[in-house]
Structure 1
Amino acid sequence: MTFTYTNDQGFPHHVCDIHGIRVSQLPKESNPSITQDTANATNTTQPPSSTIREWRSLGKGNCGSVWTAGNANWVIKREDCSQTRFLWKEYYIQNRIHSALSDIPNAVLIPHSLWYTSPPDTWHFPEPEMEACNTMCSERIPPLSRSFRDSLIDHAIPKHAESAKQLDTDCIARLYLGKYRTGGNAAHYSLKNLPVWLNVLQELRMPTNEYAAIMGQTLALLHWAAEIDANDVEFVLGSPRQLAGPQSSSLESKIETIAELKYNTSTHLGYGMQQEPSQDLVVDEGSQVSSLWILDFDCCDAITMDVTGAEKAAVAVVRNDPYTPKPCQLEDHDYELWKAFRDAYLAKGAQVVKLRGLDKDLPDIFIQRLELFFQMKKEGKELPKFHRGPFCASLSQQ
């Protein structure tokens, strides 16, 4: 199965398989076209009816700001924070991951990406002072319950625990299995993106080895099933999923459709894309249940199914420190944590490469390079560099 991924002005046009690996290049005139049903559409996509409620910010990152309305089950991400990071790439990669993993059991949760808009056919906020920009609608990660949040606050920011607990703020926790808290001014931390270090998790007697194993399995799937390097992704704790996802067949159809679209194409008005769900989030504030989620895919890149791809993926994980456990020796304190991550990665990786007929040594090569590159980083040595693309073009290429 093949598809063509394109963008507007000069970005390479490639024929790719369902996992995005380039097969050949085609001249522009050979690219298939796709027609959008916009007969009754205007140039401006209207905001969902839920936006009659008050908008509030859920945070701001390197790529864009994230907003929701009331207790909606979806979020709006605006490309208003960077000139070098692009929401279309995140939209494409996020759907590509869902398509590749739709029939593979996985313990980590990935937000569903619903639609994308870009000027001039763009989605506007009700507030007139907000300029139109590239916008993506995604499933919202349910925040941690107040009970769970307060337990984290007591250990993560003890000096500010009482004042932090008074805040009516949604909490998502970044899971740092590769870093211990060594100090710092806790007053600068945000409950919307609360860092939870390994020693805090250990104090709370949370299942760190289980988290490590889930991270290992997830990275193996992203590398050898979705064929991406997982560069700069974040592992976070939130409440369990409440939004039902589409069937695997519709996911495959959706990613094929998106891949045929030109770069930055609006999908809110057609192409069979999902609309924002109408149901609201309902969080049991006394619950102690949490789920592991993964998000932020705009810096991910394709990898080849060979040694070079394994090395590129290993460099990405090293640079994504401190989420994953660091390699260590048998006598080290965190060896069991590293072993849980490593063994889970190798086991899941072996299943995937066998199923897909890939080189059986690829997962082992990744782990070997990961150990080597972490040691190189520790010694201050420069890590290998790899070409990035074709899933993102600089502004000059658009």
Structure 2
Amino acid sequence: MAGRTMQNPGDESMISNIELTNQLSYLLDKERNERLESQLPPDTSPSNIIANILSPSSVVITSSPSTLIRQSQQGPALGYLRIGFGQCGITCERPGRDYVVKLARPAYKQGLWADFQAHFMVREASQQKANKNAECRVPRLFSWIPESKTKWWDKNRFLFPEISGLLPLPTPALVTEHILPLPKIARQALIERYCPPGLQANVSADPTNRDCLARLYLGSRRQRPELLSPNFTLRNFNLHLDQMLEMELPVLLFASAMGEALAIIHWAAHVDGYDIEFVLGSEADAYSVYNQDIAVSLKLTPQQVLGMSSHEDLDAKLRTNFKQRSTRMWVLDFNLCHIWPEEIALSEPDGLVSHLVQAFFDNDPYYPRPHGEGDIERELWDAFATTYSQKAEQILQDKDKRLVDLPSRFINACISYVK
């Protein structure tokens, strides 16, 4: 036995489960991609692939649940993979399921609770006020799991083997709809177009690049488009306006969708929208016994929330038939948002408008900017501002008359801000 390292059998089992979970994630991604490729005409060029797939109107009809999907939902040992991380938490998926779990970092437990509250307000407002076929979606909100919910954690803690060295568990968790990544064929086209040739093989092989959502930067062009990034990654891929134009994406549609979404966030949800993100990702239509958003009031105190059901058998309730999958624009990440009562708009309108303008410009350049240098920039701003104003007017039409002019004051203040 001399010279041998003793290994804990539990460690070996954990490594095996991680490998199995990674393999399943790869196979599911491969299967989705093969279905998508079968819908495309032969010899489709990379640029046409991107234009077809990244347009929100694209729809791919697929079959009923595959053997892989059914197996993934019946495999209790298969755990969660880390697919994203941010200031307040780490996001994990369980391959084959249409939800993700966001785990709070130790110093940001209240930040994740703020994420839950603002997300709830925005989701509810969107359900009530968004147009029937609105282009911008808000992920469904399924559950809030406090760290004291021992029954849930006793059942699920072992399913997070990748997290054990990164976060102390249990910790508060937020369960939301999974925004599926862009399909492999689109990811490969982005790599071929924007990744340095010498890095393309490694980038393509890196499993973290499967977790690809594209951030829509309508308010930004690349300063040196001829230079390819030596740090190229597909995770949280920044898609600038000049790239969208190169790929002939429907940028005016994106601008209008952002305008409608922000009007709902401001004037129906009463959320400032600070540091939210607008991304392109895939969508799967789901049917299940449990397909409704969490039906609780945000007047609940944290103590009351501790008594909420923690969805002990989430997997049995979330099922998908993968009947349709299409690229969608999504708005997400509400952990830095603030909720403001309507009374503030009446008592301190100037302060509120100033705050909303600051949140608008402090964000990454998702929104079109006023006074753009080119014709397309001006068209984008007009589309955004017009849709924002129209949706806000619709939302406020039955409200106190003193609120009606606040959206136009916001737009005018944005214009003045950059003059």
Instruction: Read off the aligned partner of 2:259 and give its amino acid letter.
Output: G
Q: Which amino acid aligns with 2:237?
A: L
User: 2: distance between equivalents of 1:343 and 1:161?
Assistant: 41
Deviations 1:164-185 (A, max 9, x none): 3344413111111111122577
Q: Tell me the equivalent position of 1:119.
A: 147
Q: Does 1:212 align with 2:250?
A: no
CA contact (8 A) 2:287 2:320 kept: no
Distance 1:216 1:283 in 2: 30
Aligned counterpart, 2:411: 367
Q: What is the aligned counterpart of 2:329 among 292, 299, 309?
A: 292
Paired amino acid for 2:405: D
The answer to whether the aligner puts 1:65 opposite 2:90 as a matched pair is yes
Letter of the 1:121 partner, please give it. Answer: K
Query: Do structure 1's residue 334 and structure 2's residue 366 form an aligned pair?
Result: no
Query: In the alignment, is residue 165 of structure 1 matched against residue 204 of structure 2?
Result: yes
Q: Take 1:158 and 1:139, find their aligned partners in 2: how far apart are those partners?
A: 34
Distance 1:58 1:50, change over 3 A: farther
Report how many residues are paired: 321
Report the CA distance between 1:107 and its aligned residue: 2.4
Distance in 1, Cα, partners of 2:85 & 2:117: 20
Three-state SS of the structure 1 residue aligned to 2:407 is helix
Amino acid at match of 1:174: R
d(CA) in 2 for partners of 1:347, 1:155: 38
**AA paired with 2:417?**
F
Instruction: Assess, with a 3 A threshold, how the Cα gap between structure 1 residues 221 and 246 changes in structure 2: closer, same or farther.
Output: farther
Contact persistence 1:92–1:259 (CA under 8 A): no
Q: Which amino acid in the other structure matches residue 320 of structure 1? A: N
Residue 268 (structure 1) shift: 5.5
Give the Cα separation in 2 of the matches to 1:182 and 1:72. 39
How many percent identity over aligned positions?
A: 24
- TM-score normalised by the chain length of structure 2: 0.68
Deviation, structure 1 residue 312: 1.5
Q: Which position in structure 1 is the counterpart of 2:241? A: 198
Kindly indicate whether the alpha-carbon contact (under 8 Å) linking 2:214 and 2:281 is maintained by their aligned counterparts in 1: yes
Partners of 1:189 and 1:177 in 2: how far apart? 20
Could you say which residue in structure 1 is the equivalent of 2:18?
none
Worse overlay, 92-101 or 329-338:
329-338
Match 1:239 to one of 282, 295, 299: 282
* Correspondence for 2:81 among 56, 63, 71: 56
Q: After superposition, give the CA deviation of every residue in 1:322-363 in whole Å (9 maximum; x if it has no partner).
A: 111111168655111111111111111111111434522111
Stretches of structure 1 that go unaligned for 5 or more consecutive residues are 1-47, 376-398
Say if 1:339 and 1:267 are closer, same or farther in 2 by CA, change over 3 A: farther
- Give the 3-state SS of the residue equivalent to 1:290 in structure 2: strand
Matched residue SS, 1:242: strand
Deviates more, 1:289-298 or 1:167-176: 167-176
Q: Is the 8 A contact 1:112 1:245 kept in 2?
A: no
Query: Which amino acid letter does the alignment assign opposite residue 76 of structure 1?
Result: V
**Mapped partners of 1:273, 1:98: distance in 2:** 23
- Match of residue 220, structure 2, among 179, 182, 190: 179
Q: Distance in 2 between matches of 1:125 and 1:109?
A: 30
TM superposition shift of 1:76: 0.9
Q: Return the alpha-carbon distance in structure 2 between the equivalents of residues 330 and 352 of structure 1.
A: 32
d(CA) in 2 for partners of 1:247 and 1:133? 24
After TM superposition, the structure 1 = structure 2 runs for residues 245-324 of structure 1, keeping only pairs within 5 Å, are 254-256=295-297, 258-262=298-302, 265-266=305-306, 269=309, 275=314, 277-279=317-319, 282=322, 289-303=326-340, 304-305=344-345, 306-324=349-367
Structure 1 pair 73–209 and aligned structure 2 pair: CA distance change class (3 A): same
Greater CA deviation, 231-240 or 130-139?
130-139
Q: In the TM superposition, what is the alpha-carbon distance from 1:115 to its structure 2 partner?
A: 1.2
- Structure with greater Cα Rg: 2
Structure-to-structure mapping, 1:117-156, within 5 angstroms? 117-122=145-150, 123=153, 124-126=156-158, 127=161, 131-156=169-194
Q: Which structure has more helix as a fraction of its residues?
A: 2
- The TM-score with structure 1 as length reference comes to 0.71
Q: Are the equivalent residues in 2 in contact too, given 1:85–1:299 (CA < 8 A)?
A: no
**Secondary structure of the residue that 1:236 maps to in structure 2?**
strand
- Could you tell me how far 1:219 is from its partner in structure 2? 0.3
- Specify the SS of the correspondent of 1:260: coil
1:188 is matched by which residue type in structure 2? N
How far off its partner does 1:281 sit? Answer: 8.0
Q: Quick one: which amino acid aligns to residue 157 of structure 2?
A: F
Q: Distance in 2 between matches of 1:234 and 1:310?
A: 21
- The gaps in structure 2 that reach 5 residues or longer are 1-72
